[in-house]
Amino acid sequence: MPKQWILIGLLLTVAAVAVAVQVLRTRGSSGEGPYFTNVTITPDTRAAAKSSNGFAFDLYRHMRTEPGNLFFSPASISTALAMTYAGAAGETRQQMARTLHFQSPDEQLHSGFGTMVKLLNSRGEGYRLRMANRLWGQQTSFRPEFLRTTREEYGAELAQVDFGQSERARQLINDWVQDQTAGKIANLIPPGALKPATRLVLTNAIYFKGTWDQEFLEEATQDSPFQISPGQQVSVPMMNQTEIFHYAETDQLQVLELPYKGHEVVMLILLPKQVDGLADVEQQLTADNVRRWTLGLRDHDVRVFLPRFALTAAVQLTDLLISMGMPLAFSDQADFSGMSTSHELMITDVVHQALVDVNEEGTEAAAATWAAAAETSAAVSEPTIFRADHPFVFLIRDQRTGAILFLGRLIDPRG
């Protein structure tokens, strides 16, 4: 019997500023919710964040050979694949576990990701943050334990669709995505992607909009040169301000942390000291190194120059995931017997879209704050200059769990 198809749609949108978590309300007509409050961070939650971060930097290393800007959501991708992993078995499951850095037993793994989903579905003053999951399935015999795990831990209800009417199914899924991302992503699944043999589509959408804790003054923004590469520059709107920020540096790079209101989410910028130093920084980009750099952050008076930029990224992750070590999931030998009793399943596509908009008011994504000892000398010394006028790496992180919600690099602010 030929394999049936699973399409995993990963969606993400980022756009203006902030961070948060905690609120409780049921889904309304706007499509928002549910929101949660009093969510406890457990060791399982931190383990899920650690596995997601390890996968994030592995994926970045495989993506960085492509030219140009780069932006994606490790949290979105890891969560969608964790739901798929709940139905994997045999060697397919083992390959996925190695690639995704999954080490916990099933109950702890899905509980950890489930708590992270609840944390991300929260709202606070000055920000808006939401993650939503849904399964779209042809009428078939999905295993009750698989549906229970995805529903109870990930909040992913199963919506019945007829993939025989593929265009109608595509519109239903894309409408849901558009609703969950405040209209930012309108056509995640392109025409022709769904086939009559499709049996299951898994979607994950993460939306964040927040405000800088210290906003940039729009009237202070001026057109300034940005060095795309040595000898090649473009003129871009350059924001600037002088303020006390968490800052550190090494021989090769400067590290700056910009918090969003609420100090639960931050943007971390890794700026090479050399105009052509991005490749050297990328080679050092690991979870351990980023942890070490952030532990060195201290309060400093910093004059920040940061370009205003907006990025849109659409990535077909199938070949990347195969090259990273999980080819069986995409082959005729795939074993997803934990999902269904009546159909042999394989993954055909993993699709990811991401948007980010960084401006004077803020950014869209997720992260959190932490306290660092203030250095009294910082206020009386000359400000440290942090001039992001050449390519750099940036990430948006949830400070409570340590989870990297968004990761990317900026080579050309014009997009």
DSSP symbols for 51-75? HHHHHHHHHHHHHTTSSS-EEE-HH
E strand map for 19-167: 70-72, 122-124, 127-137, 157-160
Task: Using alpha carbons, select from 346, 401, 332 the residue that is nearest to residue 52.
Answer: 401
| 14 DSSP 8-state letter | E
User: Rounded to whole angstroms, how far apart are CA atoms 210 and 231?
Assistant: 36
User: Rounded to whole angstroms, how far apart are CA atoms 322 and 255?
Assistant: 33
CA 132, chain centre distance (Å): 13
Q: Torsion over CA of 317, 323, 326 and 328, rounded to 10 degrees?
A: 100
- Domains annotated for the chain, with CATH where assigned, are 4-210+311-357 (3.30.497.10), 218-307+367-410 (2.30.39.10)
* Residue 69, pLDDT score: 95
Task: Using alpha carbons, select from 71, 51, 388, 102 the residue that is nearest to residue 247.
Answer: 388
* Residue 124, pLDDT score: 57
pTM: 0.86
pLDDT tens for the chain, residues 1 to 415: 566 666 655 555 443 222 211 111 112 323 444 545 567 889 999 999 999 999 999 999 999 999 999 999 999 899 999 999 999 999 999 999 999 999 999 999 999 999 998 887 765 556 677 788 888 888 778 899 999 999 999 998 888 889 899 999 999 999 988 888 888 888 888 898 888 888 888 888 887 777 899 999 999 999 999 999 888 999 999 999 999 999 999 999 999 999 988 888 899 999 999 999 999 999 999 999 999 999 999 999 999 999 999 888 888 899 999 999 999 999 889 999 999 887 778 888 888 888 888 888 865 432 211 111 122 233 446 899 999 999 999 999 988 889 999 999 999 999 8
* Residue 10, pLDDT score: 56
- For the four alpha carbons of 129, 81, 193 and 336, in that order, the dihedral sign comes to negative
**Residue at token pair 């060095």:** 227
- For the four alpha carbons of 89, 94, 97 and 103, in that order, the dihedral sign comes to positive
| 21 DSSP 8-state letter | -
